[in-house]
């Protein structure tokens, strides 16, 4: 099925895959943009798909799994950035301590 003829859930699944790729690449801005696009598609799907059939439920399950992966990638990047900031802070304190010690000699 072409993307234009895809249901909102199918389009949301495609956007979710792109979101995971952006998150894995560490592109938080693109991930936010894709998440907003996906949210609109999911809201549209909720309005037009009542009740969900088994196929639709499977697509929602896949979207949820991809969402968990994207969150994991983004959290990993956030932790890495926090570690880098901690190391910069430690380095600054060491330079400050060394400079203060040299001035007193």
Encode the chain (105 residues) as per-residue pLDDT tens digits.
444 567 899 999 999 999 999 999 999 999 999 999 999 999 999 888 778 789 999 999 999 999 999 999 999 877 877 787 878 888 888 887 877 766 655
Tally of CB atoms within 10 A around 74: 20
The total number of structural domains that make up the chain: 1
The pLDDT, as a whole number, for residue 87 is 84
The pLDDT, as a whole number, for residue 98 is 79
The pLDDT, as a whole number, for residue 105 is 57
Specify the pTM. 0.70
Give residue 47's domain range: 8-77
Look at residue 14 and tell me if it is in a domain: yes
Look at residue 66 and tell me if it is in a domain: yes
> What are the tokens at 98?
């060394």
Collect all residues with Cβ–Cβ distance below 8 Å to 38 and sequence separation of at least 6. Answer: 12, 15, 16, 19, 63
Look at residue 101 and tell me if it is in a domain: no
The DSSP call for residue 98 is H
């Amino acid at each position: 099925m072409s993307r234009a003829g895809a249901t909102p859930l199918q389009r949301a699944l495609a956007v979710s895959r792109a979101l995971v790729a952006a998150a894995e690449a560490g592109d938080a801005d693109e991930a936010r943009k894709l998440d907003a696009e996906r949210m609109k598609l999911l809201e549209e799907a909720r309005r037009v798909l009542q009740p969900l059939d088994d196929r639709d439920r499977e697509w929602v399950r896949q979207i949820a799994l991809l969402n968990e992966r994207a969150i994991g990638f983004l959290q990993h990047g956030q932790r890495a950035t926090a570690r880098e900031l901690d190391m910069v802070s430690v380095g600054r304190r060491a330079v400050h301590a060394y400079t203060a010690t040299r001035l007193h000699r």
